[in-house]
Structure 1
Amino acid sequence: MAAMLMLLSCASRTYHPQTSIVEMDGEKMLVGPLVFADILHYFPDWNTVYEEAEVPTDLVQKIQAINRPLTIRIFLGTWCGDSRDGVPPFMKILERAQNAHLRVELIGVDRQKLDPDGLAIDYHIERVPTFIILENGSEIGRMVEFPEKTFAEDLLDLLAQSNDE
C-alpha cells in the first residue's frame, strides 16, 4: 500500500504539456494557442528568465487595481530572444497580481510570423513579441517587440491613455 501511494505521489508531480512541440527547419518551437507552463517546460532558458524576473510590489498593486475586463493577446516566438526576455517577466507580474479582469491568450508563431489559426495574419503581426490589448473585443492598443519601460509599465501607460480618450 505504501509503495502504491509513493508511486501515485510521484506520478502526480509529472508535468503533462498541453501543447506539442514542433520542429520546423531543424528548430524546435511551439506554434498556435499556448499555455505558459508548456513554454517553461520545453524551453529552460525561458524558465530561467521567469525565475530571475523581479516583481516590484508597487507594479503588482497597480496591475491588481485594473478594474476593466481586458484580453491581452500575446503573439510570441519561442525561438525569439525578445519574446524570451519580455514575456516571462510580464507573466510573472500578472500571476502575482491575480487580477480576474485580465485574460491572457498566448499565440506562438513560427519565424515567418504565422500560426495555424491565421490570427497573426488577422492582426498583422510583423514582429514579436506583440501584445494586443482588447476591450470588449476591440483593440485599444498594442506593444510591439521592445517596451519603452517594461511591458507591465507600458500596459499601465497604455490604459491611462485610453482612459483619457
Structure 2
Amino acid sequence: MRGRKPKPTVLKIREGNPGKRAINHDEPNAPSSIPSCPDFLDEVAQDEWFRISEILNEMGLLSSADRAALAAYCTVYSRWVHAEEQVKKFGTIVKSPEKGFPMKSPYLTVADQAMETMRKFLVEFGLTPSSRSRLRVEAKKSAEDEFDTFVGAG
C-alpha cells in the first residue's frame, strides 16, 4: 500500500471534505463510547486516559474500537512524564559513566522520542491545534431551536 494513509470519513466530513474526494459511505462505524481503561496502565497513564477520553468523547471522536490506540498514547504520555521528571532531577547534560565527560542525558532522548510519538497519536485523534483547525463540527442546537423546528417556525 503506497501513498498517504486514508483519512477517516468522520474527519473528512468534519473538515468539509476540502479535496472533494469521494466519501466512503460504507466505512464501518464503531459504536461511540468511552472504552474501559486497561488495567496494565500505570497511575499517570490512567489519569491521562480519563482526562483525554472525556475530551475525545465530547468531540465525538472516540469509539470502543479506539481502546488500543488510546492505551498506546497514554503509555507514551506516562513515559514522557517520567522521563521529564528525571531530566528535571539530573539536568539535560550529565557526566558519562566511563570518563566523566559531559553528555546528553539519556532521559532527554527518551522524553524527546516519547513526545514525538505522542504528537503522532494526538494528530490521529484530532487533538493538536493544527489538526483541530481542519475539523468542522455542527453547532449544537439549543432547546429553542428544537422547539422552533418542531412547530415549524424554524
- What's the TM-score, normalizing by structure 2? 0.24
Q: Over alpha carbons, which structure has the higher Rg?
A: 2
Higher strand share: 1
TM-score w.r.t. structure 1 length? 0.23
